[in-house]
Amino acid sequence: MKTNFIEEIDKIITLALEEDLGDGDHTSLSTIPETAFKDDGDVIEVGDVIFEVKGKSISILSAERLALNFLQRMSGIATATRQIVDLIKATNTTVLDTRKTTPNLRIVEKYAVKVGGGANHRFGLYDMIMIKDNHVDFAGGVVPAIKACQQYLKQKEKDLKIEIEVRNFEELQQVLDYGQVHRIMLDNFTPEQTSEALTLINHRFETESSGNITIHNILDYAKTGVDFISIGALTHHIKSLDLSLKAI
């Protein structure tokens, strides 16, 4: 599914303005001319001017906090993503985000990840089948879970990729024996276990590492040759950048 980031982000900003302004100035974004000095993804330094706005002071001040809230958080996400991507740039591993996003701000936060050089995992529960540990347990095992998903997709005439999470080598072997998935997620495997698992998988399926991966060990995982590394902390545990708006 192709996502129109700008269109979806505009919708979120409109809703956020309505929430924040109430009966106040509803025309802030349309009445304030702006001059941007930086593009999305540009590196900024302390003291850099990102943009200028001109307009009625009441309109500028009405939109100030909302604009800064978005800019600070999304810049923090993009910065954290860039730092991680740079750590493994010498490998072929792709950094992914997750669904661990702020409610109603997912599209904006995932856009920030892309701006930072990462890639997007699924956008919701609707665009990919991801069989997690709870699904496996409720279904009665790895193979029954895969079969149930296959049957569902056939009945609903849906063409969705299937990813399955494995917690140990026993579950991994069951997936390898049965197949019928597109990607295998190695959950909480150590780098050494990941290397062993990749040898067993032998490029038959896409591979993804997840769980307890930080800036301190991500390179060890990437060096194993795993295709993807997903990091929930990119969007749920980040430090916003310190930005401010000054009158001149």
Question: Per the domain annotation, does 244 fall within a domain?
Answer: no
Catalytic residue of the set 187, 206, 220, 227? 187
Q: Are residues 43 and 151 in the same domain?
A: no
Question: Per the domain annotation, does 246 fall within a domain?
Answer: no
Tell me the CATH number at 27: 3.90.1170.20
Question: Per the domain annotation, does 43 fall within a domain?
Answer: yes
Tell me the CATH number at 140: 3.20.20.70
Q: Are residues 75 and 114 in the same domain?
A: no
Question: Per the domain annotation, does 199 fall within a domain?
Answer: yes
Q: How far apart are CA 215 and CA 237, in angstroms?
A: 13
Total domains, the chain: 2
Q: Of 2-11, 26-35, 138-147, 220-229, which gets the smallest average pLDDT?
A: 26-35
| One-character DSSP codes across 58-126 | HHHHHHHHHHHHHHHHHHHHHHHHHHHHHHTTTSSPEEE--S---TT-HHHHHHHHHHTT-B---SSSS
Q: Are residues 79 and 146 in the same domain?
A: no
Catalytic residue of the set 20, 99, 100, 133? 100
Q: Are residues 98 and 209 in the same domain?
A: yes
Q: For the range 24-32, what are the long-range contacts, defined as Cβ-Cβ under 8 Å and sequence gap of 24 or more? A: 24/62, 25/58, 25/59, 25/62, 25/63, 27/59, 28/59, 28/60, 28/62, 28/63, 29/63, 31/55, 31/56, 31/59, 32/56, 32/59, 32/60, 32/63
pTM: 0.82
Catalytic residue of the set 99, 132, 161, 167? 132
Q: What is the pLDDT of residue 199?
A: 98
Note the pLDDT tens digit of each residue in 126-178. 999 999 999 999 999 999 999 999 999 999 999 999 999 999 999 999 999 99
- Which residue in 114, 107, 97, 113 sits closest to 231, CA to CA? 97
Residue 206 is among the residues annotated as catalytic for this protein? no
Residue 100 is among the residues annotated as catalytic for this protein? yes
Residue 38: give the domain boundaries: 5-84
Q: Which helix (H) or strand (E) holds 57?
A: helix 57-87
Q: Are residues 228 and 163 in the same domain?
A: yes
Residue 65 is among the residues annotated as catalytic for this protein? yes
pLDDT above 70 coverage of the chain, percent: 93
Q: Are 141 and 153 in contact (CB under 8 A)?
A: no
Question: Per the domain annotation, does 107 fall within a domain?
Answer: yes
Q: How confident is the model at residue 97 (pLDDT cuts 50, 70, 90)?
A: very high
